[in-house]
């Protein structure tokens, strides 16, 4: 005898088969005396079945300048902005007759730099076509960045006028303390300070695209879309350059690292194409497609004037600070991202052996190439690329992916899943040895190390339904990661070592952890207790092990620092045990009131002697919602999140033997968020709708360093960083008043306040920078903005 | 006058549908119109419903001229018992398929998740739904109508500015993170969850739209793709080694910041072996040497004051990611 | 902030103002109790249209009382195909609020 659950499952499977057939099947029903189609004459029916088109015009007033407030919404400067939103719909499909054409035009925020405009038209079941334009200006500073360089965001050449004068960074120190008058960038002359001016930094995206689709018949369809993403503007970036010694008889003599914060141009174009052929059969379906992404950077590098010199003594620097460099400052150059291409072929599909057994799978093959010339990516005077074996990378990465998943509903209560995934990034780029002048003027040679990796995953899962109200899921996942380099030059690259570390290189190099293997067990339980309470709980336990290469050569160093200390492993490939707990309960106390609580905790324990030791995250969330009437509801939530990370490191360098000079660092991040929202409809005789929303978010992050053993205390080498704090308060209130069926007036108030403090900016303040770092005087973003908007909406059908 | 017109229209419709009914019952060729089929249900469930069920006619499901679109009974089942009514005094039987996770106002319990999802998957099984079976949402008994509202003029899931609000109904951590200091433009309405995720199931981790984390991020941030002459290993493998995409207190969307973030993978080269405590706060934070020279390896961008090409460098002089 | 003041306590008027009958409340009560599933305002479904009911009881004494009895007692109602079911008992919130029931009946009779 079938149980209720079984009956339902069998019935549901039967329904699935019947649905396709039911489309054209007439369901015998009692003779209906008044069977009728939609009564389009009825006003209530009209408002339901005919689409609403509307236009909104208004103005929003922003009384405060704040690029951080306008970060994504374009309201960065005080003033009035045009509010324009539109949605138009039409097409004969809405007449419920023979027509199947629907079209739509939608525009959002047309008066700001965050505008979007899209239009599409389709003859449903036959073809569709659409175009869109989306603009987003992202303000990445709060407007307080100052620079003496001439040039605008989006340029790649930043010149200091010779009148700016040199910055002599020669200082005299005694026992680690600066004793001389000359403080380099920390004490710029009055005329140098006068040349600093503000620049508002933003990077802007303009996305233009079209989509088109065509149904050849019921089974075959073709879909195409193309998107051009054009980016302009800049993002701030550090830059290292050398101080040069003008007094050297041989010309420039470089040494040391001097820093200026520059406007790195983001003048990019990314073209994305998708062409897919879809087949849908009765039991199977498949999709074959091409995905292409072509990235182009307008520049190959960024150049800037180098005002930093050394020479003389701290008390009597030579040349004196502020002296003209002559005709011009020398230029330093670094690279910007090279143009690259990705071409990918994709195949995916599925087959339903039966309503209970399904197989899905996919294959992907992609080639990612990059062959931008090295011209313009390095300083020319002096020529820092001393030996260039080739003039471009000719890089090739082949990425392959395969996945397969089988699900089987063994009975109404038992369900199985088995899956396999494979992802490989095979870097086939050649290695060469490059000899170059690095920061500090040192001549070095390095071999480029193109890295490859692959990830193989298996998972098995079973779901058992005890009843309609209780379910248990058990799963096992395994993951293997392999890392390697494809060419012998990369595998055998070795740096020079000091005597302490002689004998370090014993095996092939390239990556520190050539193999990771992880196994995870997952258990989740869900249940309904009675009619109104739902609970769920879950637990995951994972163990990852690493196979470590004991003579790993870090490709970023070509000198005697090319390795990590003995016993140290990077966290992302270290052995670890991971536990995850989660639980939640939702109680629908009445038809109108629901309350829910859920929480989560993860513990990561790393087995490495040195490196990240532990990482924990905890979160708890409380939610409640209450619909006090047909026309009103309120909701509130509170979220609490914590994250910590413990790190143990050694000072000094020893690749062979564990060092005994140890220090630790603890990171903690605490985030609390609360919010409230409400909606009231049809007040004042059905004419007024109100919505309110309030959010408050507070985040605090802090680092604490302790000297664990055998490290003498020195100024600044232990203790707590100042807190990184950000508190955002946001309140939105919008009302819409219906003047008549076609017109409404909308008005709203938005209050937003950010209070933030971050020690990050301490480094860049005039007079407080390191002597070798050019200030920017950037401040932590803080703002209080009250905005009001008024708009008129006209709607029609 | 309006009422007379209504009555006249009523008669016309009645006549038409009675004719249609007659033909079908007699088993002749004329197929019933889609509206006639719907009328089986819309006779009672009409414009007076609290939920705007007739608004479905504005959506692609309601384009009656498209032969693929469903009638009420295609999704809700034939529901013969419900049509017949309360014959035995125990209440009107429920329709065959009830969607949702809560009981209806009339007290009907929702159908089993499999029954609910099969109603939609029978047509929508391909494309984005390819990997639905065995996916995270499916295993957790999430059904289509938990997210999608088909009986409405606009499904919030398909409107970029409204979509995150639906996802936040369950994903509370991410909701809190969108209010943090550094975020993707979700709160601003310029991005939606589906720009990175495919909630219907995917071949990638954590329901990402593409096969891997890096592939997903690089669709918009292609300047980080390379391959570069000098690579940075954590960048090749997984952007989330350093970044957290939903929101962070540390700009730009970082889990941690230099020098400490770099110290999580490096201990040996250059200053990665040196401890910094109050030094990171500069002179103002009390960490400078007496005489006031903050250490540029510790303050501000720290390591990244000089090691700026953190995602990789294509300059022949950039082996240390300086250029 | 002026906008908020304008949107404040303005006019409140009802389109169907009729002495004593709160049409919106009546319709809300009817929707909560699923009345419209069987009775259209002007449309006949399984049950008679309310306009037909109003027509039938126009000018009759005791019409209000009769109808209140009909919707609160659970008495049998006849369907077009002949079978009978107990008529749904209208529930109010708070329970047994006769004023709301009376308002509903008065609205039906006014159609």
Q: How far is it, in rounded angstroms, from Cα A80 to Cα A375?
A: 46
Would you state the pLDDT for residue C15?
35
Closest residue of chain B to C83, computed from CA coordinates: B87
Q: How far is it, in rounded angstroms, from Cα A782 to Cα B32?
A: 65
The verdict on a CB contact (< 8 Å) between C14 and A790 is: no
C71, part of any domain: yes
C9, part of any domain: no
Q: How far is it, in rounded angstroms, from Cα B312 to Cα A429?
A: 14
**Structural domain span for residue C99:** 20-109
Closest in A102, A448, A763 to B294, CB measured: A763
B150, part of any domain: yes
What average pLDDT score do residues A779-793 get?
96
What average pLDDT score do residues A488-501 get?
83
Would you state the pLDDT for residue B228?
97
Closest residue of chain C to B10, computed from CA coordinates: C43
How confident is residue A1, by pLDDT bands cut at 50, 70 and 90?
very low
Would you state the pLDDT for residue A568?
94
Q: Which of B44, B41, B109, B30 has its CA nearest to residue B75? A: B41
Q: Is the pLDDT of residue A24 over 80?
A: no
Say how many CB pairs under 8 Å bridge A and C.
Answer: 38
Q: Is the pLDDT of residue A179 over 60?
A: yes
Number of folded domains that form chain B? 1
A2: exposed, middle or buried (C-beta count within 10 Å: 0-12, 13-18, 19+)?
Answer: exposed
Say how many CB pairs under 8 Å bridge A and B.
Answer: 594
For residue A646, list its beta bridge partners: A614, A666
The verdict on a CB contact (< 8 Å) between A630 and C81 is: no
C70, part of any domain: yes
B276, part of any domain: no
β-strands A220-237, A202-215: how paired? antiparallel
Q: Write out chain B residues lying below 8 Å of A399, CB-based.
A: 215
C57, part of any domain: yes
Report cis status (omega within 30 of 0) of the bond before A319. yes
C1, part of any domain: no
Would you state the pLDDT for residue B293?
87
Please, which residues have CB within 8 angstroms of residue A145's CB and are 6 or more apart in sequence? A198, A199, A200, A201, A236, A261, A776, A777, A778
How confident is residue A255, by pLDDT bands cut at 50, 70 and 90?
confident
Q: Is the pLDDT of residue A9 over 60?
A: no
What average pLDDT score do residues A396-405 get?
98
Q: Write out chain A residues lying below 8 Å of B305, CB-based.
A: 238, 240, 259, 773
Closest residue of chain A to B152, computed from CA coordinates: A48
| C71: phi then psi, degrees, rounded to nearest 5 | -95, 0
Percent of all residues in chain A with a pLDDT value above 70, rounded to a whole number: 93
From B44's Cα to the closest Cα of chain A, the distance in A is: 10
Q: Which chains touch C (3 or more CB pairs under 8 A)?
A: A, B
Cα A615 to Cα A520, A545, A706, B264, C88, distances in angstroms: 18, 17, 17, 11, 60
Radius of gyration in angstroms for the set of CA atoms belonging to chain B, rounded to a whole number: 30
Residue with tokens 């003579």: A551
Would you state the pLDDT for residue A41?
75
What 3-state DSSP class applies to A696?
strand
Would you state the pLDDT for residue B4?
52
From B80's Cα to the closest Cα of chain C, the distance in A is: 15
Instruction: Check if B11 contacts C (Cβ < 8 Å).
Output: no
Q: Write out chain B residues lying below 8 Å of C86, CB-based.
A: 86, 89
Would you state the pLDDT for residue A473?
96
What average pLDDT score do residues A131-153 get?
96
B220 in Cβ contact with A229 (< 8 Å) = yes
What are the pLDDT digits (tens) for A692-736?
999 999 999 999 999 999 999 988 999 999 999 999 999 999 999
Q: Write out chain A residues lying below 8 Å of C12, CB-based.
A: 684-685
Closest in B44, B46, B50 to C46, CB measured: B44
How confident is residue A788, by pLDDT bands cut at 50, 70 and 90?
very high
What average pLDDT score do residues B78-96 get?
86
Tokens of A560: 């005697």
Radius of gyration in angstroms for the set of CA atoms belonging to chain A, rounded to a whole number: 32
Q: How far is it, in rounded angstroms, from Cα A602 to Cα A580?
A: 4
Q: How far is it, in rounded angstroms, from Cα B289 to Cα A715?
A: 6
Q: Output the pTM of the full model.
A: 0.90
A347 in Cβ contact with A288 (< 8 Å) = yes
Would you state the pLDDT for residue A493?
84
The verdict on a CB contact (< 8 Å) between B317 and A280 is: no
The verdict on a CB contact (< 8 Å) between C81 and A30 is: yes
Q: Write out chain B residues lying below 8 Å of A384, CB-based.
A: 317, 323
From B116's Cα to the closest Cα of chain A, the distance in A is: 8
Would you state the pLDDT for residue A325?
87
Would you state the pLDDT for residue B85?
81
CATH assignment at residue C73? 1.10.760.10
Closest in C31, C36, C83 to B85, CB measured: C83
From B83's Cα to the closest Cα of chain C, the distance in A is: 11
Q: Which of C45, A220, A27, A223 has its CA nearest to residue B70? A: A27
A759 in Cβ contact with A796 (< 8 Å) = no
**Strand residues in chain B grouped as ranges (E):** none
Tokens of C66: 């009769």
Q: How far is it, in rounded angstroms, from Cα A663 to Cα C46?
A: 82
Who wins on pLDDT, A499 or A435? A435
Residue with tokens 């879909």: A223
For residue A749, list its beta bridge partners: A733, A788
The verdict on a CB contact (< 8 Å) between A747 and C7 is: yes
β-strands A301-305, A157-158: how paired? parallel
Q: Write out chain C residues lying below 8 Å of A593, CB-based.
A: none
b/e code A355-385 from CB counts within 10 Å (16+ = b): bbebbbbbbbebebbbebebebbbbeeeebb
C4, part of any domain: no
Closest residue of chain C to A738, computed from CA coordinates: C7
Q: Is the pLDDT of residue A670 over 50?
A: yes
Q: Residues of C near B (CB-CB distance < 8 A)?
A: 31-32, 34, 36-38, 40-43, 45-46, 79, 83, 85-86
Q: Is the pLDDT of residue B283 over 70?
A: yes
Q: How far is it, in rounded angstroms, from Cα B261 to Cα B232?
A: 14
Q: Of A36-45, A150-159, C100-109, which gets the smallest average pLDDT?
A: A36-45
The 10 Å Cβ neighbour count of residue A506 is: 8
Closest in C32, C41, C45 to B43, CB measured: C45
Q: Is B77 left (phi over 0), alpha (psi -120 to 50) or beta?
A: left
What 3-state DSSP class applies to A562?
coil
Q: Is the pLDDT of residue A281 over 50?
A: yes
A312 in Cβ contact with A172 (< 8 Å) = no
Q: Of A203-207, A290-294, A640-644, C74-78, which gets the smallest average pLDDT?
A: C74-78
The 10 Å Cβ neighbour count of residue B216 is: 23
What's the CA angle centered on A483, arms A477 and A485, to 5 degrees?
160
Q: How far is it, in rounded angstroms, from Cα A422 to Cα A212?
A: 32
Q: Is the pLDDT of residue A273 over 50?
A: yes
What are the pLDDT digits (tens) for A576-588?
999 999 999 999 9
Who wins on pLDDT, A782 or A3? A782
Closest residue of chain A to B317, computed from CA coordinates: A436
Tokens of A298: 């307008």
Q: Which of A498, A535, A541 has its CA nearest to residue A523? A: A541
Residue with tokens 């003027």: A441
The verdict on a CB contact (< 8 Å) between C34 and B6 is: no
Cα A354 to Cα A218, A358, C36, distances in angstroms: 21, 7, 42
Q: Concatenated DSSP letters for A65-108? A: --TTTTTTTS--SSEEEEEEEEEEEE-GGGGTSS--EEEEEEEE
B231, part of any domain: no
Would you state the pLDDT for residue A7?
34
B6, part of any domain: no
b/e code A737-748 from CB counts within 10 Å (16+ = b): bbeeeeebbbbb
How confident is residue A22, by pLDDT bands cut at 50, 70 and 90?
very low
C3, part of any domain: no
Q: How far is it, in rounded angstroms, from Cα A362 to Cα A349?
A: 6
Contacts 24+ apart (CB under 8 A), C44-51: C44/A33, C44/A34, C45/A34, C45/B43, C45/B44, C46/B44, C46/B85, C46/C79, C46/C80, C47/C77, C50/C108, C50/C111, C51/C111
Would you state the pLDDT for residue A124?
93
Q: Is the pLDDT of residue A752 over 50?
A: yes
C59, part of any domain: yes
What are the pLDDT digits (tens) for C12-57?
333 334 467 888 889 888 888 889 888 988 888 888 999 999 998 8
Q: Write out chain A residues lying below 8 Å of C81, CB-based.
A: 30
Tokens of A366: 């992609």
Q: Which of A691, A581, A585, A675 has its CA nearest to residue A631? A: A691
Number of folded domains that form chain C? 1
Q: Write out chain A residues lying below 8 Å of B129, CB-based.
A: none
Closest residue of chain C to A733, computed from CA coordinates: C4
Tokens of A635: 């909701």
What 3-state DSSP class applies to A191?
helix
From A736's Cα to the closest Cα of chain C, the distance in A is: 9
How confident is residue C95, by pLDDT bands cut at 50, 70 and 90?
confident
B68, part of any domain: no
Closest residue of chain B to A649, computed from CA coordinates: B267
A714 in Cβ contact with A695 (< 8 Å) = no
B267, part of any domain: no
Cα A741 to Cα A522, A794, B46, B153, B197, distances in angstroms: 56, 9, 22, 18, 39
Q: How far is it, in rounded angstroms, from Cα B15 to Cα B4?
A: 16
Q: Write out chain C residues lying below 8 Å of B43, CB-based.
A: 45
Q: Which chains touch B (3 or more CB pairs under 8 A)?
A: A, C
Closest residue of chain A to B179, computed from CA coordinates: A697
Would you state the pLDDT for residue A327?
87
Q: Write out chain B residues lying below 8 Å of C41, CB-based.
A: 48
| A760: phi then psi, degrees, rounded to nearest 5 | -50, -40
**Strand residues in A710-742 grouped as ranges (E):** 719-720, 724-738
For residue A295, list its beta bridge partners: A270, A340
What are the pLDDT digits (tens) for A307-362?
998 888 888 888 889 998 888 898 999 999 999 999 999 999 999 999 899 999 99
A502: exposed, middle or buried (C-beta count within 10 Å: 0-12, 13-18, 19+)?
Answer: exposed
Would you state the pLDDT for residue A25?
33
**Structural domain span for residue B140:** 51-62+93-101+110-115+129-212
B5, part of any domain: no
Q: Write out chain C residues lying below 8 Å of A685, CB-based.
A: 11-15
What average pLDDT score do residues A202-230 get?
97
**Chain C (17-56) residues lying within 8 Å, Cβ to Cβ, of chain A:** 24, 28, 31-32, 43-45
Would you state the pLDDT for residue B1?
52
Q: Which chains touch A (3 or more CB pairs under 8 A)?
A: B, C
Q: Is the pLDDT of residue C93 over 90?
A: no
Please, which residues have CB within 8 angstroms of residue B205's CB and are 6 or more apart in sequence? B212, B213
3-state helix, strand, coil in chain A (%, to 5): 10, 55, 35
Q: How far is it, in rounded angstroms, from Cα B130 to Cα A350?
A: 7
Q: Of A763-767, B116-120, C59-63, which gets the smallest average pLDDT?
A: C59-63
For residue A437, list its beta bridge partners: A443
Would you state the pLDDT for residue B28?
42
Q: What is chain B's mean pLDDT, rounded?
A: 88
Q: Is the pLDDT of residue A10 over 60?
A: no
The verdict on a CB contact (< 8 Å) between B71 and A23 is: yes
* ipTM score: 0.92
Would you state the pLDDT for residue A66?
94
Instruction: Check if B126 contacts C (Cβ < 8 Å).
Output: no
């Amino acid at each position: 005898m079938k149980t209720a659950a079984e009956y339902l499952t069998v019935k549901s499977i039967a329904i699935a088969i019947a649905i396709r057939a039911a489309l054209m099947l007439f369901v015998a029903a009692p003779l209906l005396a008044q069977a009728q189609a939609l009564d389009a004459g009825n006003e209530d029916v009209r408002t339901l079945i005919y689409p609403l088109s509307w236009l909104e015009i208004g103005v929003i007033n922003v009384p405060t300048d704040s690029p951080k407030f306008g970060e994504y919404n374009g309201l960065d400067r005080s003033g009035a902005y045009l509010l324009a939103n539109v949605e138009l719909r039409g097409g004969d499909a809405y007449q419920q007759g023979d027509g199947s054409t629907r079209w739509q035009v939608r525009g959002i925020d047309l008066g700001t730099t965050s505008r979007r405009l899209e239009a599409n038209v389709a003859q449903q079941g036959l073809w569709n076509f659409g175009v869109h334009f989306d603009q987003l200006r992202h303000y990445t500073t709060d407007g307080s960045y100052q620079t003496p360089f001439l040039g605008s965001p989006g340029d790649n050449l930043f010149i200091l006028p010779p009148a700016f004068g040199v910055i002599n960074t020669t200082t005299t120190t005694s026992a680690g303390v600066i004793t001389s008058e000359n403080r380099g960038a920390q004490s710029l002359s009055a005329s140098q300070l006068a040349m600093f001016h503000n620049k508002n930094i933003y990077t802007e995206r303009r996305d233009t695209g079209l989509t088109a689709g065509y149904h050849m018949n019921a089974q075959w369809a073709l879909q195409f879309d193309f998107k051009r993403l054009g980016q302009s503007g800049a993002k701030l970036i550090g830059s290292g350059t050398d101080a040069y010694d003008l007094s050297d008889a041989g010309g420039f003599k470089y040494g040391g690292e001097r820093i200026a914060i520059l406007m790195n141009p983001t003048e990019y174009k990314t073209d994305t194409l998708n062409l897919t052929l879809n087949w849908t059969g009765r039991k199977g379906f498949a999709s074959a497609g091409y995905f292409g992404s072509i990235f182009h950077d307008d520049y190959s590098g960024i150049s800037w004037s180098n005002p930093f010199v050394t020479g003389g003594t701290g008390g009597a620097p030579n040349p004196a600070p502020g002296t003209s460099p002559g005709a011009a400052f020398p230029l330093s150059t670094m690279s910007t991202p090279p143009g690259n291409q990705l071409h990918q072929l994709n195949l995916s599909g599925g087959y339903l052996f039966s309503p209970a057994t399904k197989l899905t799978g996919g294959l992907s093959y992609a080639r990612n190439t990059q062959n931008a010339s090295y011209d313009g990516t390095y300083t020319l005077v002096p020529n820092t690329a001393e030996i260039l074996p080739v003039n471009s990378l000719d890089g090739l990465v082949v990425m392959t992916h395969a996945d397969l998943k089988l699900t089987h509903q063994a009975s109404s209560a038992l369900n199985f899943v088995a899956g396999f995934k494979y992802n490989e990034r095979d870097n086939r780029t050649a290695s060469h040895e490059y000899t170059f002048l690095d920061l500090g003027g040192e001549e070095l040679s390095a071999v480029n190390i193109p890295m490859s990796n692959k990830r193989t995953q298996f998972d098995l899962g079973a779901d058992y339904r005890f009843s309609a109200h209780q379910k248990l899921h058990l799963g096992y996942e395994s993951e293997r990661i392999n890392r390697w380099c494809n060419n012998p030059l990369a595998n055998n690259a070795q740096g020079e070592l000091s005597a302490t570390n002689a004998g370090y290189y014993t095996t092939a190099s390239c990556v520190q952890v050539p193999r990771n293997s992880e196994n995870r067990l997952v258990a989740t339980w869900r249940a309904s207790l009675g009619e109104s309470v739902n609970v769920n709980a879950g637990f995951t336990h994972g163990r990852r092990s690493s196979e470590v290469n004991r003579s790993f050569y870090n490709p970023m160093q070509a000198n005697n620092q090319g390795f990590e200390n003995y016993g140290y492993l990077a966290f992302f490939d270290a052995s670890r045990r991971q536990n995850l707990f989660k639980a939640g309960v939702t109680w629908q106390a009445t038809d109108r009131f629901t309350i829910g609580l859920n929480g989560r905790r993860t513990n990561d324990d790393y087995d490495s002697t040195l490196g990240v030791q532990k990482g924990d995250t905890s979160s708890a969330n409380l939610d409640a919602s209450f619909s006090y009437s047909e026309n009103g509801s309120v909701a509130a939530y509170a979220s609490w999140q914590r994250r910590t990370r413990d790190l143990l490191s050694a000072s000094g360098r020893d690749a062979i033997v564990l060092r005994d000079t140890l220090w630790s660092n603890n990171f903690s991040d605490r985030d609390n968020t609360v919010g409230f929202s409400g909606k009231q409809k049809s007040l004042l005789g059905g004419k007024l709708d109100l919505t309110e929303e309030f959010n408050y978010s507070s985040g605090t992050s802090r680092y604490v360093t302790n000297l664990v053993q055998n490290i003498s205390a020195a100024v600044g080498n232990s203790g707590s960083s100042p807190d990184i704090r950000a508190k955002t308060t946001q309140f939105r209130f919008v009302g819409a008043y219906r003047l008549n069926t076609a017109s409404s007036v909308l008005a709203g108030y938005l209050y937003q306040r950010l209070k933030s403090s971050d020690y990050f900016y301490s480094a860049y303040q005039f007079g407080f920078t390191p002597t070798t770092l050019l200030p920017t005087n950037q401040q932590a973003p803080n703002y209080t903005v009250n905005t009001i908007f008024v708009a008129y909406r006209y709607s029609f059908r | 006058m309006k009422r007379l017109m209504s009555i006249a229209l009523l008669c016309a419709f009645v006549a038409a549908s009675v004719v249609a009914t007659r033909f079908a019952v007699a088993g002749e060729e004329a197929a019933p119109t889609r509206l006639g089929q719907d009328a089986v249900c819309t006779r009672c469930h009409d414009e007076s419903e609290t939920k705007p069920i007739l608004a479905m006619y504005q959506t692609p499901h309601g384009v009656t001229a498209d032969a693929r679109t469903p009638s009420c009974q295609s999704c809700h089942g034939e529901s013969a018992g419900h049509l017949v009514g309360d014959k035995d005094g125990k209440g009107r039987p429920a329709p065959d398929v009830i969607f949702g996770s809560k009981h209806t106002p009339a007290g009907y319990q929702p159908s089993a998740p499999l029954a609910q999802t099969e109603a939609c998957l029978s047509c929508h099984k391909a494309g984005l739904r390819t990997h639905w079976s065995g996916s995270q949402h499916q295993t957790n008994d999430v059904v289509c109508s938990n997210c999608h509202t088909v009986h409405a003029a606009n499904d919030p899931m398909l409107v970029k500015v409204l979509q995150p609000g639906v996802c936040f109904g369950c994903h509370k951590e991410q909701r809190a993170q969108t209010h943090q200091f550094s975020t993707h433009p979700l709160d601003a309405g310029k991005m939606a969850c589906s720009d990175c995720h495919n909630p219907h199931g995917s071949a990638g981790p954590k329901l990402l739209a593409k096969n891997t984390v890096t592939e997903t991020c690089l669709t918009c941030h292609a300047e980080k793709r390379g391959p570069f002459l000098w690579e940075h290993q954590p960048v090749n493998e997984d952007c989330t080694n350093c970044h957290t995409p939903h929101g962070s207190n540390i700009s730009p969307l970082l889990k941690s910041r230099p020098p400490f973030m770099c110290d999580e993978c490096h201990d040996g080269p250059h200053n990665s072996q040196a401890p910094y405590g109050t030094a990171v706060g500069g002179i103002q934070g009390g960490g400078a040497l007496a005489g006031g020279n903050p250490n540029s390896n510790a303050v501000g961008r720290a390591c990244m004051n000089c090691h700026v090409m953190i995602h990789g460098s294509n300059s022949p002089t950039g082996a240390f990611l300086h250029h | 902030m002026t906008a908020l003041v304008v949107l404040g306590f303005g006019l409140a008027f009802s389109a169907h103002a009729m002495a004593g009958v709160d049409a919106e409340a009546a319709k809300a009560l009817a929707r909560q109790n699923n009345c419209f599933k069987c009775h259209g305002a002007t449309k006949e479904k399984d049950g008679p249209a309310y306009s037909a009911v109003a027509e039938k009881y126009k000018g009759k004494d005791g019409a209000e009382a009769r109808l209140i009895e009909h919707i609160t007692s659970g008495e049998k109602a006849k369907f077009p195909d002949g079978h009978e079911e107990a008529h749904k008992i209208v529930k109010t919130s708070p329970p047994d609020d006769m004023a709301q029931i009376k308002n509903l009946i008065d609205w039906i009779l006014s159609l």
